[in-house]
A and B are shown apart, each in its own frame.
Chain A
Amino acid sequence: MSQRMEVLPGVYLRAVQTDKFKTGCLSVNFLRPLCREEGAMNALLPSVLLRGTRRHPDMMSISVLLDELYGAGVGTLIRKKGEVQTWGFYADFIEDAYTLDGENVFAAICDFLRELLFEPVTEDGCFSRDFVESEKVNLCNSIAAEINDKRSYAVIRMLRTMCRDEQYAVSRLGDRASVEAITAEDLYAHYRRVLAASQVEVLYMGWKPQEEVARQIGMMLRGLPRAALDAAGTKIVRSASTAQETAERMDVTQGKLSLGFRTGCTCADPEYPALQLLNAVYGGSVTSKLFQNVRERLSLCYYASSSLEKHKGLMVVSSGIEFANYAVAKSEILRQLEDCREGKITSEELEQARTYLISALKTAMDRPGSMDDFYLGQAIAGLDGTMQDQIEALRRVTPEDVAAAARRISLDTVYFLKGVNA
Chain B
Amino acid sequence: MRIVEAPRLGECYWEEKLENGLTIRVVPKPGFARKYAFIAVDYGSIDTSFTLNGARVRTPDGVAHYLEHKMFDLKDGDATERFAAGGASPNAFTSYDMTAYYFSCTDRFEENFHTLLDMIAEPWFTEASVNKERDIIGQEIRMYEDSPDSKLYENLFSAMFRHHPVRVPIAGTVESIAEITAETLNDCFRTFYAPSNMMLCVVGDVEPEQIAAWTEARLRRECAPRPVRDYGPKETLDCERHEIREAMEVSMPMFAIGFRCAVPEGGRESMKREIVGDLACELLAGESSALYQSLYEKNLIDSDFSAGFECVKGAGLISFSGDSQSPELVRQAILAECGRMLEQGLDEAAFRRLKKSAMGRRIRDLDSFESICVRMCTNFFDGVDYYDFPSVYEEISLEDVRAFLEETVREERLVLSIIEPKEQN
Contact = CB atoms under 8 A, between A and B. Distances in A.
Interface of A: 18-23, 58-60, 63-64, 66-72, 92, 94, 97-98, 130, 134, 137-138, 141-142, 144-151, 250-254, 285-287, 295-296, 299-303, 320-322, 348, 352, 355-356, 358-360, 362-363, 365-366
Contact of B106 (A92, A97, A301, A359): A359
Given A150-B146, A287-B81, A363-B34, 7 more contacts: A70-B360, A70-B363, A72-B360, A94-B364, A130-B297, A254-B143, A287-B80
Contacts of B254: 148
Interface residues of B, number: 68
B323 interface: yes
B32 A20 contact: yes
B356 A71 contact: yes
B85 interface: yes
Nearest to A349: B84
Contacts of A68: 353, 356-357
Contacts of B135: 299-300
Interface stretch (B44-52, B285-293, B306-314, B333-341): B285-293
B104 interface: yes
Contacts, number: 175
Given A72-B360, A94-B364, A301-B139, A285 B84 contact: yes
A22 B11 CA distance: 11
Nearest to B366: A22
B147 A60 contact: no
A70 B302 contact: no
Contacts of B217: none
22 contacts: A20-B29, A23-B364, A60-B290, A63-B287, A66-B287, A68-B353, A71-B358, A71-B361, A98-B363, A137-B299, A138-B303, A147-B251, A149-B147, A150-B147, A253-B142, A254-B142, A321-B139, A358-B106, A359-B89, A359-B105, A360-B89, A365-B33
B364 A59 contact: no
A130 B148 CA distance: 31
A286 B367 contact: no
B363 A148 contact: no
Interface of B: 9-10, 29, 31-34, 78, 80-81, 84-90, 104-107, 132-137, 139-140, 142-143, 145-149, 248-252, 254, 286-290, 292-293, 296-297, 299, 302-303, 323, 353-354, 356-361, 363-364, 366-367, 422
A362 B106 CA distance: 7
A348 B86 CA distance: 11
Given A94-B364, A352-B85, A362-B34, A63 B286 contact: yes
A253 B303 contact: no
B251 A145 contact: yes
Contacts of A320: 139, 142-143
Given A59-B293, A359-B88, A23 B367 contact: yes
Contacts of B10: 22, 97-98
Contact of B296 (A22, A59, A94, A352): A59
Nearest to A92: B364
Given A63-B287, A68-B353, A94-B363, A287 B84 contact: yes
A250 B146 CA distance: 11
A60 B81 CA distance: 51
Contacts of A362: 33-34, 106
Nearest to A20: B31
Contacts of B353: 64, 67-68
